[in-house]
Amino acid sequence: MKRRVFFEQLIKFSAISGMSLLTLFGLFPSIFTTKKTSAKLVLGTEEDVFNQATHITKQINDRTLIIKKSTDGAVEAFDASCTHAGCPVRWNEADQTFLCKCHGGIFDYQGIPVAGPPKKPLQKIHVQKRESSGEIILYVMDVSA
């Protein structure tokens, strides 16, 4: 194969493969990206949500949330993914801490790291209480669809 012919074919192949990738991306963008969205979750009244429990967990697509009552009675929610390496944390009612068993991470009742390798606080989820009905509403950002 002559050198000129080789380069012509190389240019054609590059153009075709580049166009193919652009076409694929245009037609099926979800192949290349993970769609993130936000979610509004209406849980019900405090009595419905907690019954006799001090906390509950809730799964939203790829995320687990821990919803609990604070000592002053307010409802709080946290993403249950440890900020060190993503292992699940558990709420320890007796110590008022979140524990991560993977590497011994401990977060206080506000999700602030107090021991172990985590340096960032747990992600707090925005909670609102509907005044008219008393329903608890969670606003969760970046939920994979």
- The contact set with ligand FES (CB under 6 A) reads 82, 84-85, 87, 100, 102-103, 105, 116-118
Q: What DSSP line would sit under 64-101, residue for residue? A: EEEEEE-TTS-EEEEE-B-TTT-PBEEEETTTTEEEET
- Contact indicator for 35, 28 with CB cutoff of 8 Å: no
Smallest separation, CB 126 to ligand FES (Å): 23
Rounded CA-CA distance 137/37 in Å is: 17
Residue 110 contacts residue 96 (beta carbons within 8 Å): no
C-beta of 116: minimal distance to ligand FES in Å?
Answer: 5
Nearer to ligand FES, 104 or 134 (CB): 104
In the complex, the smallest distance separating the C-beta of residue 26 from ligand FES, rounded to whole angstroms, is: 38
Nearest to ligand FES of 22, 85 (CB atom): 85
Task: Pick between residue 105 and residue 111 the one whose CB is nearest to ligand FES.
Answer: 105
